[in-house]
Chain A
Amino acid sequence: MERVLEIVHLKKSFGTHEVLKDINFNVNKGEVVCIIGPSGSGKSTLLRCINLLEKPSGGKILYKGKNILEENHDIYAYRTKLGMVFQQFNLFNNHNVLSNCTVGQIKVLKRSKKEAEEVAMKYLRVVGMEQYINAKPKQLSGGQKQRVAIARALSMEPDVMLFDEPTSALDPELVDEVLRVMKKLAQTGLTMLIVTHEMEFAKEVADRIVFMDKGIIEEEGSPEEIFNNPKKERTRDFLRRTLK
């Protein structure tokens, strides 16, 4: 199995507050990993450390075997290998749907406009937003925005997609359209690391579940193991509270 990401002894503190304490786990190629855990346990911080939106305080992040926290590593090139989907969508407000998906390709990957548009259209079709290419973000619903945000990240053709609670900011009736797109992506063999509160979804798509609590990984295993036979008391507690 090919390791895409290897997180080794990762630590992160904000001042004296230690949010991540010694995190260790891997993401393999083609795998869908879901991170679950109570609010404030450090799930977002972990994702943000992985794509260096936060600077880790210690440990290593190996991308295809190379530690990206070393001084001379090109973090801009590295970030193009990770697609990030935010809870708040964060579409570029000054770009329409199509150019949200092309600007990164053109400016960062130096693709031609024509090529970038072809790639963008391909992924806009995947998320079912190809008819909206002229729309500005403020003219879209939350679910539509999130689907465009997914297409924007896919357009960079990254090795791993990171999702930070992609449906938490959505009205309940819009959650499904986004989850459906993500399930579709999971089936195509895309490598995905997903922070989510949607337990049913995690159970269905994940190859592996990571349960985080208070800055550490409490337990890790197949959906079967975590949902049906959790070993740790904390995991059982959490699941009892969220699944009832």
Chain B
Amino acid sequence: MNFEWIVKVITNYWPMFLRGAGMTLFISLLGTIFGFIIGLISGVIRSMPMPESGIKKAILKFVNIILSIYVEVFRGTPMIVQAMVIYYGSAQVLNINMNRLAAALLIVSINTGAYMAEIVRGGIVSIDKGQFEAAYAVGMNHIQTMTNVVLPQVIRNILPATGNEFVINIKDTSVLNVISVTELYFQTKTVAGNNFRFFEPFFVACVLYFIMTFTVTRILRFVERKLDGPENFTMIYNPMQI
């Protein structure tokens, strides 16, 4: 271990490392958010009660099959391979030259979406049937039931799993270096190549990855506690004024 080299790497290349870390955070944050939204939508669709009528039923069945295929395919293949197929596939097969960053966001989002779809579905299934029935009983339809009663509870329950996805994304965006997205791993590789030193730059990257994941985990814990609200409630002794 050469301490001087580490200092040198940091002082000479800190802007590159920071930009790389920023890019990593940006892609994984947006990817997690989009993936979360994809997961919610697909979870709501997949938990819809089957309609009686023929056409609506057929449509819903078809959409459900598409969603299952999506989930299985994207969970069942490595993201590094998906990145290659989507980025080079769109160029060679569809003649679309994708912006690398856009491709990166797309890949991380749909990949996260596939995992979140299952997490959300599990979250919806685990909500007590009585919650749905009470919502139907006051006249809510499926969408109102979901948005006002079920999903708020699901989101609270799956927050830890979502945070987990975020942390995984921070680490796994490193595979996007195969399509030359300038995230932290790519930048580190560049620094290492320029200096023919590998240990020190990657050690710095390692520390940066850990700082990011650790901070994100702490922030999410805090959010969870905030969402739970206070342990006790206050009685209103003069409710006439409300």
Contacts and interface: CB of A to CB of B under 8 A. Distances in A.
A79 B130 contact: no
Nearest to B151: A94
A132 B235 contact: yes
B234 interface: yes
A80 interface: yes
B229 A79 contact: no
Given A93-B131, A135-B233, A117 B242 contact: yes
Interface in B207-242: 229, 232-237, 239, 242
A79 B136 contact: yes
Interface stretch (B2-10, B72-80, B138-146, B166-174): B138-146
Contacts of B235: 131-132, 134
A156 interface: yes
B110 to A, nearest CB: 29
A96 B138 CA distance: 16
B144 A130 contact: no
A91 interface: yes
A125 B236 CA distance: 12
Contact of B153 (A94, A107, A130): A94
- Interface band, chain B: 20 to 34
Contacts of B152: 94
B156 A94 contact: yes
Contacts of B239: 121, 124-125, 130-131, 133
A108 interface: yes
Contacts of A95: 149
B134 A91 contact: yes
A134 B233 contact: yes
Interface stretch (A24-32, A34-42, A81-89, A178-186): A81-89
Contacts of A125: 239
B148 interface: yes
Contacts of A131: 235-237, 239
A151 B144 CA distance: 20
A77 interface: yes
Of A104, A130, A132, chain B has the most CB atoms within 10 Å of the CB of: A104
A97 to B, nearest CB: 9
Contact of A92 (B135, B139, B234, B237): B135
Contacts of B242: 117, 121, 133
Contact of A108 (B139, B153, B233): B139
Given A103-B148, A117-B242, A134-B233, A90 B139 contact: no
B234 A86 contact: no
B127 to A, nearest CB: 9
Interface string A94-116: 11100000011001110000000
Contact of B137 (A84, A103, A134, A136): A84
A152 B131 contact: no
5 contacts: A90-B131, A92-B149, A121-B242, A132-B236, A136-B233
Interface of B: 128, 130-131, 133-141, 144, 148-149, 152-153, 156, 229, 232-237, 239, 242
Given A117-B242, A134-B233, A134-B236, 20 more contacts: A53-B133, A76-B139, A86-B137, A90-B128, A90-B134, A92-B148, A103-B149, A104-B139, A108-B144, A121-B239, A125-B239, A130-B239, A131-B235, A131-B237, A132-B233, A132-B235, A133-B236, A136-B229, A149-B134, A156-B139
